[in-house]
Amino acid sequence: MKSNSAQNIKLGVLIISGLIIFTLGVFFIGNKQNLFGDSILVSSVFKNVNGLQSGNNVRYSGVNVGTVKEIKFLNDTAICVDMLINREAGNLIKNNALATINSDGLVGSMVLNILPSSQAPSPTIKEGDTLASISQVATADMLNTLNKTNENAALLTQDLLKITNSINSGEGVLGDLLKDKTLAKNVQESVENLNETTKSARLGLAKLNGILNNVDYENSVAGLLLSDTSAQKSFSTIIKDLEKTSSQIKGISVDLGEFSNNLNSEKGALNYVLKDSSFVNHLDQSMENIEEATHRFNENMEALKHNILFRGYFRKLERQKARAEKEN
């Protein structure tokens, strides 16, 4: 008898445990679907519900606040979705909030999202209210877009294939670049030259940088030019004067050019002097004649000194000369 009672107690414990687990399971599932709590029934009208089903979650700002109760056709273009929203959350949702249907992730079930409105403040929802709805891009639309993108990608790859085929067959500049060894060698050399140039430029810049670093900005002329504004103005004036001078020099050089041209032309006397060889010969002969005449004249003058008529005059000149030297 005692054994039977113990067995019955154990059996009772098992049965009650099983029933408690079952009841808790039912309660939690029902609670998730807002079947036991105090809830508000609101609805929203959509053109397309994108596979939304009764029991799908309703979210407000990402928080589960209820479930879809019923989906029914109003007419051929409007579908009414009734949803149960728990009263606690319902006291926060304004009646100008917007309802939209989205997918819970790429492979998830559909959810009805309630978005807070950014418009003017509005009273909270109450039993039987209808929320405005907006349609968002559905997965099918995304897939359609993706399909178009894929088609474009296919066309692009076809074109790319053509281009690569052309390049491989050596057509065009790129083909030459790939196939022509001479061109490749030239390019390689150019690159090497460019490399060397950049190296030199780098060294040059380093040197310049060193020079600039070594410039005494306070005491040197360069420093004065770079830092003193009055010196910069003076230097600017000098540059302007130099510009003027250079323009004048330019004019002079033009004149000199003209003179040189005239000199080279047959019209001028100098050209005659410089270029006519017979004239030069005549001139040379004339000079020789003048020299000979001068020599003979000197001989005549010497003879004249010894002439009795002019001897007194010459002696008088010698005495005046000697007297002047003595006085000095």
Point out which residues bind another protein (CB under 8 A).
Answer: 4, 7-8, 10-11, 14-15, 17-19, 21-22, 25-26, 28-33, 55, 57, 64, 107
Q: Which is nearer to another protein, 10 or 207 (CB)?
A: 10
Scan for tokens 């009650």, then name that residue: 16
Question: Between the CA atoms of 179, 185, 191 and 193, what dihedral angle is there, to the nearest 10 degrees?
Answer: -160
Query: Whats the size of the chain, residue-wise?
Result: 328
Least distance to another protein from the beta carbon of 8, Å? 6
Please report, for residues 1, 11, 13, 46, 176, the alpha-carbon distance to residue 7 in angstroms, rounded to integers and kept in the order given.
10, 6, 10, 60, 96
Task: Give exposure, 46-56, as e/b (b: 16+ Cβ within 10 Å).
Answer: beebeebeeeb
Least distance to another protein from the beta carbon of 32, Å? 5
Least distance to another protein from the beta carbon of 19, Å? 8
Q: Which is nearer to another protein, 29 or 226 (CB)?
A: 29
Of the candidates 128, 131, 125, the residue with the CA atom closest to the CA atom of residue 44: 131
In angstroms, rounded to a whole number, what is the distance separating the alpha carbons of residues 262 and 271?
8
Q: How far apart are the first and last CA of the chain?
A: 180
Least distance to another protein from the beta carbon of 57, Å? 8
Q: Which is nearer to another protein, 7 or 232 (CB)?
A: 7
Least distance to another protein from the beta carbon of 62, Å? 14
Q: Which is nearer to another protein, 105 or 312 (CB)?
A: 105
Least distance to another protein from the beta carbon of 36, Å? 12
Q: Which is nearer to another protein, 21 or 270 (CB)?
A: 21
Q: Which is nearer to another protein, 7 or 246 (CB)?
A: 7
Of the candidates 100, 86, 92, 94, the residue with the CA atom closest to the CA atom of residue 129: 94
Element (H, E) at 68: strand 63-73
